[in-house]
């Protein structure tokens, strides 16, 4: 479940399901993600973006395995293993009053910290090859690798959008490539100052994309701090990160 991409109004229905008539468009019963993942694993991405109003309900189902579908009084039980991910510092979110401390304690049984891509550049070629195979198969293109200039550009790029941005860049390159090897120009990346054109020559989307990239780089990928600097909510910034493939 992409927690950052689910609006607060439908979050409860998405996770716990609903019964017919629970709200205007509820024309039939719907099974939520927790029921679908019974005796299995549920991955909650961008867990820091779960609305504060829904965190208590999430805590309850994690602690007890119990919940009710939206619009129903019948309690249901599930046995679900939770894996969650975020690029925010949840301890900072707790201190700022945006994330429940008891929910953090329940989620933080085993913590695995993965450094941002710019701090593990040795992984870039492996990830790039993986995404190349994936997208080449998807778009039915015969691509075997990268020219040296393209790989050098991948290694030197700062990747403010982390692995998601790399994935997007490789997908674009697959679509643009005219031969068996991806060229530097296929990636759509620019080094350093060349990535920023003259303001009057940039579209509104280009300016917004540049500002989002700059904020994500400045705050080391921390969505909450970048959103605050940009004057956006976390969910609004997350939508822009998805829109621009960051």
Residue 229 within any structural domain of the chain: yes
Same domain, 171 and 207: no
Same domain, 67 and 137: no
Cα separation of 44 and 61, whole Å? 13
Return the pLDDT at 34: 96
Same domain, 8 and 102: yes
Same domain, 28 and 100: yes
**Cβ neighbour number for residue 40 with a 10 Å cutoff:** 10
- Going through the chain in order, the beta strands assigned E by DSSP cover 17-18, 30-31, 40-44, 66-68, 75-77, 80-84, 145-146, 181-182
Same domain, 34 and 54: yes
Return the pLDDT at 202: 65
Cα separation of 211 and 229, whole Å? 10
**What residue numbers bound the domain in which 73 lies?**
3-107
Same domain, 85 and 136: no
Of 214, 219, 213, 222, nearest to 88 by C-alpha is 222
Look at the chain and report how many structural domains it folds into: 3
Write out residues in the chain with pLDDT < 70, as ranges.
190-202
Return the pLDDT at 194: 41
Return the pLDDT at 10: 84
CATH value at residue 152: 1.10.8.60
CATH value at residue 232: 1.10.10
Cα separation of 106 and 63, whole Å? 7
CATH value at residue 55: 3.40.50.300
State whether residue 198 is helix, strand or coil: coil
């Amino acid at each position: 479940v992409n927690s950052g991409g689910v609006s607060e109004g439908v979050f409860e229905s998405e996770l716990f399901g609903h019964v017919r008539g629970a709200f205007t468009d509820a024309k039939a019963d719907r099974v939520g993600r927790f029921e679908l993942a019974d005796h299995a694993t549920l991955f909650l991405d961008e867990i820091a973006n779960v609305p504060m109003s829904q965190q208590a309900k999430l805590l309850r189902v994690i602690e007890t395995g119990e919940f009710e579908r939206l619009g129903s009084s019948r309690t249901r039980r599930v046995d679900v293993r939770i894996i969650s991910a975020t690029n925010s510092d949840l301890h900072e979110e707790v201190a700022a009053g945006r994330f429940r401390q008891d929910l953090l304690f329940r989620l933080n049984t085993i913590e695995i910290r993965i450094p941002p891509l710019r701090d593990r550049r040795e992984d870039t070629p492996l990830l790039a090859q993986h995404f190349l195979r994936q997208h080449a198969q998807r778009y039915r293109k015969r691509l075997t690798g990268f020219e040296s200039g393209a790989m050098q550009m991948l290694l030197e790029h700062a990747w403010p959008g982390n692995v998601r941005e790399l994935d997007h860049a490789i997908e674009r390159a697959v679509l643009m490539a005219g031969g068996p090897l991806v060229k530097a120009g296929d990636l759509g990346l620019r080094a350093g100052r060349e990535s920023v054109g003259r303001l009057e020559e940039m579209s509104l989307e280009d300016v917004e994309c540049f500002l989002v990239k700059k904020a994500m780089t400045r705050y080391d990928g921390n969505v909450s701090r970048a959103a605050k600097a940009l004057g956006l909510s976390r969910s609004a910034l997350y939508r822009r990160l998805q829109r621009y493939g960051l």
